[in-house]
Structures are given as C-alpha cells and as structure tokens.
Amino acid sequence: MDKARQLYGRPWSEREYVIALHYYFRYREEFRHVSTAYIMEQADVLGRTPAAVVMRMENFGSLDRDANDNRKGLANLGPIGRKVFFDWRDRQDSLRACAELLIRETAAPETISLFEPEAIVMPKAFDRYELLDRIGDGGSGTVFSCVDVLSKQAYAIKIIRADNQFDREIVHRFSREMRILGATDHPNVIRFHECNLGVEDTFPAFVMDLAECSLAQHMQTVMDKVGEIRPCLAAEEAALIFRSISSGVGALHQAGVIHRDVNPNNILRLPSGEWVLSDFGLAKYLPSAATASTFITRTHVGWGTAHYAAPEQYRDFKRTDERTDIYALGMLLWELFTRAWPPPDTRGSDMPTNLMRIFEKAVQRDAHARYESTTALLRDFDAAMPPEGPP
C-alpha cells in the first residue's frame, strides 16, 4: 500500500471532513475561489490544494438544505463525507469545538489524532489529480473522485485494488478496459481522459468523466419520492435512456467490442444530463476485431449481473457476441417500462404491446432468434415509441 499511496495519495479522511465542514458553515455565503483567503487558509491547515478545498465546499453545498439556490454546489460527495455532514449539520457549536481541536492537533503532528492517526500524504496521481472521495468498488478496481489541480475540474479515477495487483487475469482485464475506453469516442460511452498504462505496472489507473449518479441510484431516488411505484420514470425520460445506452452499445459493437455487463449500475448520468455506459471490466474484443485479444478467460470469472446476463454467459462466458448485449438491452427495456420487478414474468405484464414484442425478441434464450444489431432493435423501438411521446 505504500507504493499506492506514493502514486495516488489518499482520499479525504473523517478528520479532514470535520475541519472542512466547520469552514463551510462559517463561510457558507462567501465567495469560493482558489485564491479566497479562507480557502487558502483551509488548504494550508489540511495540507490539500485550494482546488480540492473549493470542490469540497461545493460538495457540502449540494447537501445543504438552507443554502441559496445559487450556492447549491456539486454532488459526488462520498459516504464518509455525507455521514459527517448529516451527523454535524445540526450541532454546529459542537462541530466548531471539535474542528478547533483537530486543527490544533494538525499543527502538532506528533500528537496522534483519534480521527486520523497517520499524516496526510499529498496525492500525486499523474502529477495533477488530487484524490477526493472513494465512490465505488468494482471487481478489479476502486473508483475515486478527484480534482485536476490545474484546470480545477472534477473527474473520476479508477485504480486497481491492492488485492488484485498480482492476479494476472485481473491486471489483464484492467489493462484491456483502459485500451477499450481509450479507443472509444461516443457521447453515450464514459469518456476516457488518460491512463498510466505502460508506465506503472504495479498499480495501474485511468481517469474518466465523473458522473452524478447511476441509473439504479436515480430510479431509487425517484421511487423514494413517489413510493415504490414502477415504472418510476416518465416515458420520455425512459425512452431517452434506452436510446442513449443502445446507441452507446451499438458504437462499441461497430468497434469490435462487446460489453457483457449492461445493467443499471453501469449506466451513469453525467452533470450535462447525458446518459453513458461505463465499467468495461467484463468487456472483450470480438474475434473479428483487428485488436482482438488472445487472452483466455477462466470459466469461473465474471458472468455479469443477475437477470441481465444472457443464458450463454452462464454456459460459456468466452463464446459470447453482440447478441449478449442485445439480451441485456431487452432487460433494460423491461426495467424502464414495466410495473413488475425482475426477474421478468410476461404473464399479466403492463408493458405496452409494441414494446413487449421488442422485449420478447431481445431476450430469446436462443441468441440466433434475437435482434442481430442495435440498429434493428432501435428501429423497432422508435416505431413503437415515437420520440414525440409514448405509444
């Protein structure tokens, strides 16, 4: 782990969150900029860059129910930061006392803090990205939010997990994910920015766009507001999502790649409102692709996500093709447009008849009976679900 910390540093600790939250409430209505006095003071106290501190103030603003509309800030605050915010927001006098104690401890590094016993290690990811929050874990890597200290823009960085660094197959998958993303340019596929492939073999990592939420999180948020009613999304929004992800999958297929794990957790919404496909840990090049990999997948590794994985993924994970992703898109159609919870049961389904025909063809157990391409799938979907409204 020493090597990983040297390369990427550490995400924010609870101690840092408490101090930052104290500054947030104290200067909540004041201007936020890397050159603002209280931002620079806080950066000096924490040993973080002013850009990271500004981002943290924005994150807190996104949770603050009392903030003015023009001070709402940016989302993407990790679970520890959220817990600190909600634990302390109604106890600001106690927060001030605790933060002042922690600030004094910071000024005396020989004192061991209850919150953070080790000194902060300044991140050096690619010499420009400072880690903020741990926001998710995958089978091979961990995703953190980060800030580009030069441009002040927020991104996500995926770093291979320490327990996977000596697993040849996982390292290969991680490298393949980087190559696939680096070669893909489509508005509905998560955008890749840079990686250290070929430079850092022990703890490889890559930088990509930072999303606001996954489709699974978005649907859960909507259901929390309206009750557990499905379908929970308006037909227009559901259609937009389905078209976007189907287009992204189609672009991958044209590039000779299949995803093999299309599901709501891997469908993300960007701050721009676009929906993109992410997490290419199970993706592979098709044999016909010019960059086809000769790597052989062990049969016990990764079948995909329950209900979304096509039957052939369980029978022989190596022998999958574009129709495997078509099956997953059929399941996505079910998720977006039916009242019933998965697994799907077509008996008594409330899915519109035109969409039901598409669903049934997309999820045939025999892959040869499914749509051959996303183009054919979308052609039928557009006929059943015209862009101007529901069927």
Burial status of residue 314 (CB atoms within 10 A of its CB: 0-12, 13-18, 19 or more):
exposed
Q: Which of 264, 288, 149 is nearest to 214 (CA)?
A: 264
Candidates 133, 209, 261, 325; catalytic one = 261
Euclidean distance between CA atoms 340 and 232, whole angstroms: 11
Euclidean distance between CA atoms 84 and 107, whole angstroms: 22
Q: Under a CB-based contact definition with an 8 Å cutoff, are residues 48 and 130 in contact?
A: yes
Residue 148 main-chain phi, psi, to 5 deg: -80, 110
Q: Which of 75, 50, 295, 58 is nearest to 169 (CA)?
A: 295
Cα distances (Å, whole numbers) of residue 220 to 21, 70, 340: 27, 26, 15
| 138: its two tokens | 């995958």
Residue 163 falls in the annotated catalytic set: no
Helix (H) or strand (E) holding 142: strand 141-148
**Which residues form the catalytic set?**
261
